Amino acid sequence: ANYRRGFLTSASQAPDIAFAFDIDGVLLRSSKPIPGASDALRTLQERGIPFILLTNGGGKHETERVAEISEKLNIPLDPSVIIQSHSPFAELVNGAFGQEALENKCILVAGGDGDRCREVAERYGFKSVVTPGDIFTAYPGIWPFSKNFKDYYKSFARPLPRPIDPNDPSGSLKIDAMFVFNDPRDWGLDAQVIIDALLSSQGIMGTLSDKNGQSDLPNRGYQQDGQPPLYFSNPDLVWAASYHLPRLGQGGFREALEGTWAAITGGPAQGVELVKTVVGKPYALTYRFAENQLLRNRARLFSNGNLPPIKKVFMIGDNPESDIRGANSYESDHGSQWNSILVRTGVYSGGTPSYPPKVIADDVKHAVEWALKTSE
Ligand code: G3P
Ligand code: MG
């Protein structure tokens, strides 16, 4: 097949392979380039082989993250090449995943530095976004222990669209959906605010669900009283940061929230689950979203003619639980075979991986070399 160097012009010459790169632990470690990462991407660009960056990270807009990676790796990258943990949430502005359009609804966005994630949500098209920091700044008593961070929150908080007034529920702040866009910096405040909304009546902050009149039921919000849906964007329990040992990720926050939720409501023992949706790797929704973006980008690369289908997509990752597991189980809608390659430069540090990759490579450069060799 023609992955030779040189310029491909017609669609018939389009390569029938593509790559998906995880970022943390594969291309970068925290924000330091991993040796060989630039060469790996440059080789593919020279051969006109399409790739996407598929990360469970986020916290800033795709255009910003891509500019940073492009600068760090000294590689020209288009914003359309990256899919972050929260990228699929943009589809919820006009309605997706069985959820009504949220463009003009009031959504809570948790996680990230300051209100960077609010900015991202607004650039996606959400028109009414509140953060736990806004709520805390307006009502410090909602979580007494964040008083030490008062100035931090004050530096970016915005006035709430409505007050929290237990004497006037219908005029109070109503949360219609909740999103964890990135790792919360203040697990306590974010968990308290999310649980308040899940226990509320109709998402009205400051109220408690009357449990649909079934007062004998344990105190629980189970979305049968209009409580807001809760979306997580990244299931990673741990991830590879600059510290030499894996660090707790957004999955750690979810586990902490679920534990608190179970203690308050009686949890599974009472048949009460924390009703939530989790996107991100390893879930098929995220892989499908990524594959569609890869195909759109490729079609733009080769504007004329009908392109041959992509036979193989090589997913290169450092975390067996997300990158390898997701690629191994993803059933492509376009008949592409997703092949997982595990590298040793991130979370995985040897031994039998919890999910078996096609191959284990020392680093991303060796991974790409192996993939190109097996595709010739
Ligand atoms: O928060 C980022 C971390 O969960 C992992 O990111 O790029 O390895 O999917 P990545
Ligand atoms: Mg990773």
Q: Return d(Cα 239, Cα 249) in angstroms, integer.
A: 6
List, for residues 272-314, the tens digit of each pLDDT value: 778 888 999 999 999 999 999 999 998 887 765 678 889 999 9
Q: Return d(Cα 90, Cα 88) in angstroms, integer.
A: 5
List, for residues 61-118, the tens digit of each pLDDT value: 999 999 999 999 999 999 999 999 999 999 999 998 888 999 999 999 999 999 999 9
Give every strand in the sheet of 17-21, ordered side by side: 82-83, 51-54, 17-21, 312-317, 337-343, 359-361
Residue 21 pLDDT > 60: yes
The confidence band for 1, taking pLDDT boundaries of 50, 70 and 90, is: very low
pLDDT of residue 63: 97
Kindly identify the ligand whose nearest atom is closest to the C-alpha of 317: 2
pLDDT of residue 221: 45
Angle at alpha carbon of residue 348, lines to 346 and 349, rounded to 5°: 100
Cα distances (angstroms) measured from residue 76 to each of 31, 48, 66, 366: 17, 13, 9, 21
Sorted by sequence, the CB contacts under 8 Å of residue 361 that are 6+ apart come out as 316, 341, 342, 343, 344, 367, 370
Sorted by sequence, the CB contacts under 8 Å of residue 327 that are 6+ apart come out as 20, 287, 313, 315, 317, 338, 339, 340
Residue 149 pLDDT > 90: yes
Mean of pLDDT values over 25-44 = 95
pLDDT of residue 212: 56
Cα distances (angstroms) measured from residue 113 to each of 8, 98, 110, 117, 141: 42, 30, 10, 8, 22
DSSP SS3 for 317: strand
Mean of pLDDT values over 248-271 = 90
Q: What mean pLDDT, rounded, does the chain reach?
A: 92
The confidence band for 120, taking pLDDT boundaries of 50, 70 and 90, is: very high
Mean of pLDDT values over 353-360 = 97
Q: Ligand 1 mean position to 82 CA, how many Å?
A: 13
The confidence band for 251, taking pLDDT boundaries of 50, 70 and 90, is: very high
Q: Ligand 2 mean position to 321 CA, how many Å?
A: 10
Residue 106 DSSP label = E
List, for residues 215-243, the tens digit of each pLDDT value: 555 544 456 778 899 999 999 999 988 89
Query: Among 26, 85, 321, which residue has the most ligand 1 atoms within 8 Å of its CB, making it the best to mutate?
Result: 85
Mean of pLDDT values over 315-339 = 97
pLDDT of residue 24: 92
pLDDT of residue 210: 74
Q: CB of 111 closer than 6 A to ligand 1?
A: no
Mean of pLDDT values over 126-139 = 98
Query: Among 21, 22, 243, which residue has the most ligand 1 atoms within 8 Å of its CB, making it the best to mutate?
Result: 22
Residue 343 CA, distance from chain mean position: 21
Q: CB of 321 closer than 6 A to ligand 1?
A: no
Residue 214 pLDDT > 80: no
